[in-house]
Amino acid sequence: MDGSIESQLNTSYGTKQTKIMSDKDWIRKWEKKEIGFHEEKVHKLLAEFLETMLHNRKQITIFFPLCGKAVDMKWLADMGHNIVGVDVCEMGLKDFFKENNVTYLEEAVPAIPGAKVFKSTSGNISLYCCSIFDINDSIIGKCDGIWDRGAMVAVNPTDRERYASVILSLMDKDCRYLLDTFEYDPKLHPGPPFYIPDAELEKLLGSQCNVKCLKITDSLTDKQRAWGLDSFDEKIFLVTSKLS
Ligand SMILES: C[S@@+](CC[C@H](N)C(=O)[O-])C[C@H]1O[C@@H](n2cnc3c(N)ncnc32)[C@H](O)[C@@H]1O
């Protein structure tokens, strides 16, 4: 460890060092406007696989782990769905409401010391400002759908099991979970976004869920070339409970 905020450790992949991000590191990124992950438009894979998640259901509860200020939340809220998001950075959550002209109220979350929830006055968007690891179903309830983009891939590899168990505990029996990951050579780039092998996904989710790859897209752009990568595939999975 070098004592810097973004310290380093060797991963189980054994090849390249992986960056460890603390909550403070993420908040600092937001403050410095280093938010290249944010997209101004609805994510194309969410649009493409929306019906796969909705499955003909109206007004469902859709969970956005590590939500940032994703415009996808407004898009789905405008369709009448109930949106629940969690992010550790207050600035990003407040920006979401400001940039989308959505009025909101701020409340404490009694079950989590120091946490806040920002609720749209329309009532169908609730964004929790706290760590995902403080969340459980007694606080936010179960969800019918999950859009996991820039979320599992942003969690430190050493925290992945904890993350998966939070997500699994929030899934209702009929929940349809869309998970977006990347495949690249981890020897060439330390992340985030972190590389998650398919076998690891199976290990994390497969005891309780079916994990099905829906599509693989070549998403290599100059941004990833600048990281030293020569291939960068985006993979979208549908995760559903084995009980459904
Ligand atoms: C790569 S960004 C993705 C944001 C969003 N999902 C999107 O698609 O634009 C990861 C987000 O996770 C948040 N974050 C990181 N660790 C977290 C944690 N343990 N709990 C809650 N939020 C976290 C960061 O503040 C950041 O907004």
Q: What is the mean pLDDT of residues 62-77?
A: 98
Q: What is the mean pLDDT of residues 42-56?
A: 98
Q: Is the CB of residue 60 below 6 angstroms from any atom belonging to ligand 1?
A: no
Q: Is the CB of residue 145 below 6 angstroms from any atom belonging to ligand 1?
A: no
The model's pLDDT over 75-104, given as tens digits with 9 standing for 90+, comes to 999 999 999 999 999 999 999 999 999 999
Give the pLDDT score at 19.
74
Rounded to the nearest angstrom, the distance between the alpha carbon of 151 and the centre of ligand 1 is: 6
The model's pLDDT over 158-189, given as tens digits with 9 standing for 90+, comes to 999 999 999 999 999 999 999 999 999 999 99
17 pLDDT tier (thresholds 50, 70, 90): low
Q: What is the mean pLDDT of residues 178-202?
A: 95
**Residues 112, 136, 59, CA angle at the centre, nearest 5°?**
115
> Tell me, what DSSP letter sits at residue 100?
T
Rounded to the nearest angstrom, the distance between the alpha carbon of 242 and the centre of ligand 1 is: 28
Q: What is the mean pLDDT of residues 98-124?
A: 97
β-strand pairing of 233-241 with 104-108:
unpaired
Higher pLDDT, 166 or 19: 166
Q: Is the CB of residue 208 below 6 angstroms from any atom belonging to ligand 1?
A: no
To test the pocket of ligand 1, the residue of 66, 165, 194 to mutate (highest count of ligand atoms within 8 Å of its CB) is 66
Determine the Cα–Cα distance for residues 83 and 72; give it in Å rounded to an integer.
10
244 pLDDT tier (thresholds 50, 70, 90): confident
Q: Is the CB of residue 146 below 6 angstroms from any atom belonging to ligand 1?
A: no
Q: What is the mean pLDDT of residues 134-150?
A: 97
Determine the Cα–Cα distance for residues 131 and 112; give it in Å rounded to an integer.
10
Residue tagged 């942003």 (tokens): 154
How many other CB atoms are found less than 10 A from the CB of residue 15?
12
6 pLDDT more than 50: no
Q: What domains can be seen in the chain, in order of their start residue?
A: 44-241 (3.40.50.150)
To test the pocket of ligand 1, the residue of 22, 26, 156 to mutate (highest count of ligand atoms within 8 Å of its CB) is 26
β-strand pairing of 8-10 with 17-19:
antiparallel
117 pLDDT tier (thresholds 50, 70, 90): very high
Q: Is the CB of residue 149 below 6 angstroms from any atom belonging to ligand 1?
A: yes
Task: Work out the angle between the directed axes of helices 23-31 and 90-99 (0-180°, nearest 10).
Answer: 40
Determine the Cα–Cα distance for residues 160 and 66; give it in Å rounded to an integer.
13
3-state secondary structure 115-164: CEEEEECCCCEEEEECCHHHCCHHHHCCEEEEEECCCCCCCCHHHHHHHH
3 pLDDT more than 60: no
Amino acid present at 96: F
Q: Is the CB of residue 127 below 6 angstroms from any atom belonging to ligand 1?
A: no
Amino acid present at 212: K
48 pLDDT more than 90: yes
Give the pLDDT score at 16.
54
Q: What is the mean pLDDT of residues 218-240?
A: 97
Cα–Cα distances (Å) from 11 to 8, 180, 195, in that order, read 9, 21, 11
Give the pLDDT score at 178.
98
Q: Is the CB of residue 92 below 6 angstroms from any atom belonging to ligand 1?
A: yes
Q: Is the CB of residue 154 less than 8 Å from the CB of residue 21?
A: yes
Give the atom of ligand 1 at the shortest distance from the alpha carbon of 30.
Answer: 25
Percent of the chain residues past pLDDT 90, beyond the cut: 91
Q: What is the mean pLDDT of residues 121-125?
A: 96
Rounded to the nearest angstrom, the distance between the alpha carbon of 131 and the centre of ligand 1 is: 9
